[in-house]
Structure 1
Amino acid sequence: MNDNIGNPAGIQRPHPPGPFGNAFYGTGSGIIRGGLGAYGERFLGSSSEFMQSNISQHLSDSQYYFQVNGQYVRNKLKVILFPFLHRGHWTRITEPVGGRLSYKPPVHDINAPDLYIPFMAFGTYVVLAGFMLGVLGRFTPEALSLQFTKGLAGWFFQILLLKGLLYSLGSGEAPLLDVVAYTGYAFTGMSVAVFARIFWNYSYFFLLPWICVCMGIFLVKTMKRVLLGGTRSYEKHTNRHHYLLLFMAAAQFPWFFWLGNVGA
């Protein structure tokens, strides 16, 4: 009660100085705030620089795979579904960019991998699988979700298989998005097979082996082109490479039949 005597309302009594006096009370807090502010600006600046130099670079790289047009899509589908009719070369076209050679985007090169067709083909496969489930009288949201997960799992394991084969063939430096694109092209043929099965169930068993053969030819031709990037390694183990390429083509049969077995 005695403490409030002589202390007007609204005015706080100054705190007594600490053991070190007031030497660090005003200037110390200013130094701390200034130091933290400078550190924060430097941290945020380095983070922004990291984002621009790394993440934006990956985003710009991914944009390369979506530079397509209608003509490219039509021609690419012909190469995927009828690879033996492709009379041109299988090598990619390069161009000088920034003092070094870089591959031309898909819109200017039919042999360049893209991600537009694989993603659209995968979405078409899921929609057709749902329609097929309805025809069979087995459609439920859970069944469609299971088919979606099944397709993603098959795509993922195919990526692992192809990436592993490339490592064993001495070409492990192939970009991951290239491998994602090459394996995703399989859903174009799978969509055709499921679409035909909706109208005639037995057509699936005629079309699927044909599509497996075409996809195998497409992958063998494409992987040979990738391997020829390291000609010395390719020529050193030619027989081994041929056997592994044949294994990769043969692996399309069980994978296609597993994905095409909708509703199982």
Structure 2
Amino acid sequence: MYNNNMGPQPGIPMPQSVPQQPNPFGNAFSGPGSGLIRSGLGAYGEKIFGSSSEYVQSNITRYFSDPQYYFQVNDQYVRNKLKIVLLPFLHRGHWARISEPVGGRLSYKPPIYDINAPDLYIPLMAFGTYLVLAGLSLGLYGKFSPEALNWLFVKGMVGWFMQVMLLKITLLSLGSGEAPLLDIVAYAGYAFTGLCLAVLGKIMWGYSYYVLIPWTCLCTGVFLVKTMKRVLFAEARSYDSSRHHYLLIFVALAQFPLLIWLGNISVNWLF
């Protein structure tokens, strides 16, 4: 029988145990101060990622805003807004937007509570009506076709884009280029409301178009100038130099060639 519990044999040296080196970081996360260290790192990480998310969110809000904001409208707002866009000379109220504190910051009230707030409901509906009236006008002259309507859609989108770029470049030139993009898109799209009246007048009585289209250009120019001075600029009094006046006059005058081009319903791209 073999004995498995053999003790140390004489003459055979026993292996010496190597002393364990102390790890200076071994108790950093498991020692008495581990909770303090973990809480400190967590707070630091939360501060970094929290500030980053707030920065991204603030920039998204600054340049794009919330799309749902632009569709908070009712019948009364639509009627009053159309009066301001089509007859800006008769608007006797102020042009400034109404703000309210939300979450410690000032935020503008939605269109349903502020007649001077921009919306996308009227521009989109006006653009759709413009296409319908343009197709009807082509049909009366025997020129309607899906391809022609497609060209008019592209032409309208190009005109809308040109209007947006005109307003954006003007704002950058005036030192106020931080307006939300959807605000500018909305202001640029209001031009289609007057275009609808001009095209409708052309359908009902051809000669009325030559009266309605200059009126549309004039009213759109006045509306944009007043809007950019009193709504998009935080301090209108600081924009009284001749340079700023010339740029705003340029915006108003640019409506004539742009809207005349859009109001000319034909199968040709330029004329």
TM-score class, shorter: 0.7 to 0.9
Q: Deviations over 1:148-176 (max 9, x none)?
A: 10000000111011100110011101111
Name which of 93, 105, 118 aligns with 1:88: 93
Contact 1:227 1:234 in 2 (8 A): no
For residues 204-250 of structure 1, give each alpha carbon's deviation from its aligned partner in whole angstroms, at most 9, with x where no partner exists.
Answer: 00111011111111001001014541457525xx1100000000000
The AA in structure 1 aligned to 2:207 is: Y
Cα distance in 1 for residues equivalent to 2:232 and 2:157 = 27
Q: Which ranges of structure 1 fall in alignment gaps of 5 or more residues?
A: 1-45
Unaligned runs of 5+ in 2: 1-48
Same amino acid, percent of matched pairs: 67
Match of 1:240 among 237, 240, 243: 243
In structure 2, the residue matched to 1:256 is 259
1:157-205, CA deviations, whole angstroms, 9 ceiling, x for partnerless residues? 1101110011001110111100000000000000010011001111100
| Conserved 8 A contact 1:171-1:226 | no
- 1:60 is displaced (CA, Å) by 7.4
Are 1:157 and 2:162 an aligned pair?
yes
TM, length-normalised to structure 2: 0.74
Structure 2 partner of 1:187: 192
Match for residue 75 of structure 2 among 70, 85, 108? 70
Higher Cα Rg: structure 1 or 2?
Answer: 2
Per the TM alignment, residue 262 of structure 1 is displaced from its structure 2 partner at its CA by 0.4
Q: Which residue of 1 is the match for residue 120 of structure 2? A: 115
- SS of the equivalent of 2:100 reads strand
Relative to its length, the structure with more helix (as a share) is 1
- Give, as a single letter, the amino acid of the residue that structure 1 aligns with 2:258: W
CA distance in 2, matches of 1:111, 1:145: 33
Contact 2:98 2:109 in 1 (8 A): yes
Partner of 1:97: 102
CA distance in 2, matches of 1:230, 1:174: 14
Q: Which residue number in structure 1 is paired with residue 151 of structure 2?
A: 146
1:96 Cα deviation (Å)? Answer: 1.0
RMSD: 1.9
In structure 2, the partner of 1:135 is: 140
Matched, 1:202 2:207: yes
TM-score (norm 1): 0.76
Equivalent residues in 2 for 1:29-40, closer than 5 Å = none
Tell me the SS of whatever aligns to 2:71. coil
Is the 1:118–1:187 Cα contact (8 Å) retained in structure 2? yes
Aligned residues, how many?
210
Runs of 4+ in 1 over 3 A off after TM superposition: 57-60, 230-233
